[in-house]
A and B are shown apart, each in its own frame.
Chain A
């Protein structure tokens, strides 16, 4: 099985020989994959750094007002921006090794790390809940549709997933607001409605989570349905029926165990995307999350913030892929890592 993200070519730089035994080999494998994060992050930082400095504009270009040349010079000196780019790059690398991600430009004197620690929890909470919904409903309705192929249940699921997969999140979000905030407020005479924005651990979560999960649910449901239909046609499923197994056993032990293999590989990247936040959902529902923080950082050329979020996203994507690869060995014995 090909290892998706940050996969080293065989016999490369960091390759460590993996013994054939399972347990010990797996531990070494994980260590090796995590070590591979170092070069991956190095490239990510380098590319981001280059792109950032190639992009026109500077952190001090504020809309409307023009800072005086002296102020700009002072600011550049304070944040080390007057040094040659190569020097800045080297300094940044050294700092990153010490887990020092620098100070934000837009929020004066705030370390980037504390900005991230503040904006990530709302994003992660919504992302995790959405992921849970996706796993439960995406897989659930996908399997049911496949088992009831060509019945109204199946058509309903296919219809939903087609619409769901082609409706942008901001449309879903706005429709939800119209129904559950505006209309519900009017219908209940102002006694009950869902909040349109903000973040707290209650009703504030419902609409963002639903908005965020509609598209992935549709996607995972389609994938699960297709993969389950494929497995249902396999010879070994017929063998299972021929043995006289109960339907429940045929479905759980023979169909699902096989049909979920491709679904798991799709869930990895889905998880990474969810947990790193959606600009659109966070904007529609005014959530102070990291997705929005990232976009704001990009538009205001907040270099340290851009770099730190990019590093965080890279680590999450790499780890999500590692988890998927590890899960593979659990659900498919044919897969050997190393």
Chain B
């Protein structure tokens, strides 16, 4: 098998605050292959966004990557000097941010902002860059691209801004595109269109995609593989189908169940996970999820479980594992079905 495009090894990113050290990313390792689509899933504060920021060395103050390696085509991003990082950002790996309303500079024309992404690097000459702006906007299906390139962000709708961000991200033909909650700020139909667009771009351009989200349905509609994060660590990882069929970590299982449903009674429509994510300054001992886990055993409070292979290509960090939980406790509906249905609905919304 060819070497993976991106190899993250034991990455730790911490924030040094007056309260103490925030363990935002706490020793995670994963790979992304060329052309692959990977979803990183977790609640707010699970470390997924900081993982993405670490990959681009964009961790804001007072945060810092304290250890680990981020190998992009065998080059360690963590060790790069400032010039190399600058060349790497937006060129090898591009990122799309959560809120398209605030991620574009309000006082600069959209076309100029795309142009700038290209002229920052040496891949395209000034002329080539100029000539690429309109085709790029067309590629992300912005109507009247030539006129729209002259517009300012406030003249764009939310969906169009996110498209413009994607066009900007793609402008240097990066091999990896990181999309951090690209659809959270958008309404559902627009969400679906953006996911469709990412999917098509992955197919046509061949860029690998890391989709960061808390929405399992989005992952199902776009990704091949899921990484579930909790308290800065990976708690489960595996192919989408497999994880949807048989999630092994109770957290994954809970996430899969917590997709809002329109087809059931109001009271059961949204199953939420009880409790809050742990304080990343004072993490609980043992399994970090145990205070919220309904299947916990005594051992969970003492000792942190390792990431263990539970099936081919699937690993989970749990002493219990969902397959050992009695069927009646797991309730009648398979958790994966909930999210899968939501994913189907999303696809229909996108094509409709």
Q: Which residues of A contact B (CB under 8 A)?
A: 234-236, 238-246, 249, 253-254, 257-258, 261, 331-334
Contact = CB atoms under 8 A, between A and B. Distances in A.
Contact of B121 (A242, A244, A333): A244
Given A242-B89, A244-B91, A334-B154, A236 B120 contact: no
A249 B91 CA distance: 17
Contact of B86 (A234, A239, A246): A246
Interface string B303-319: 00000000000000000
Contacts of A254: 105, 108
Chain B's interface: helix, strand, loop or mixed, by majority?
A: loop
B156 interface: no
Nearest to A255: B105
Interface string B44-64: 000000000000101010000
Nearest to A254: B105
A253 B112 CA distance: 11
24 contacts: A235-B98, A235-B102, A236-B104, A236-B106, A238-B58, A239-B168, A241-B89, A242-B56, A242-B94, A243-B90, A243-B94, A243-B117, A244-B86, A244-B90, A244-B91, A244-B117, A249-B120, A253-B105, A253-B108, A254-B105, A258-B106, A332-B107, A333-B106, A334-B152
Contacts of B76: none
Contacts of B56: 242
A315 B165 CA distance: 46
A315 to B, nearest CB: 31
Contacts of A258: 105-107
B244 interface: no
A51 B103 CA distance: 53
B295 interface: no
A297 to B, nearest CB: 45
Contacts of A235: 97-99, 102-103
B116 interface: yes
A150 to B, nearest CB: 9
Interface in B236-294: none
| 7 shortest interchain CB distances as A-B pairs | A244-B90, A244-B89, A243-B90, A235-B102, A243-B117, A236-B105, A333-B152
B87 interface: yes
A323 to B, nearest CB: 19
A333 B120 CA distance: 24
Contacts of B94: 242-243
B95 interface: yes
Nearest to B151: A333
B107 A239 contact: no
Given A241-B58, A257-B107, A333-B152, 16 more contacts: A235-B97, A235-B102, A239-B105, A242-B94, A242-B97, A243-B117, A243-B120, A244-B86, A244-B88, A244-B90, A245-B86, A253-B108, A254-B108, A333-B106, A333-B107, A334-B106
A241 B105 CA distance: 12
Which of B88, B108, B152 has the most A CB atoms < 10 Å from its CB?
Answer: B108
A302 B15 CA distance: 67
Contact of A253 (B58, B116, B152): B116
Interface in B96-141: 97-99, 102-108, 116-117, 120-121
A234 B98 CA distance: 13
Contact of B120 (A245, A257, A261, A331): A245
Which of B86, B91, B94, B152 has the most A CB atoms < 10 Å from its CB?
Answer: B86
Nearest to A260: B107
Interface string B149-162: 00010100000000
A258 to B, nearest CB: 6
Contacts of A331: 107
A236 B89 contact: no
A249 B97 contact: no
Which of A236, A239, A258, A333 has the most B CB atoms < 10 Å from its CB?
Answer: A239
B174 to A, nearest CB: 10
A249 B56 CA distance: 18
Contacts of B106: 236, 258, 332-334
Nearest to A332: B107
B103 A243 contact: no
A244 B95 CA distance: 11
B86 A240 contact: no
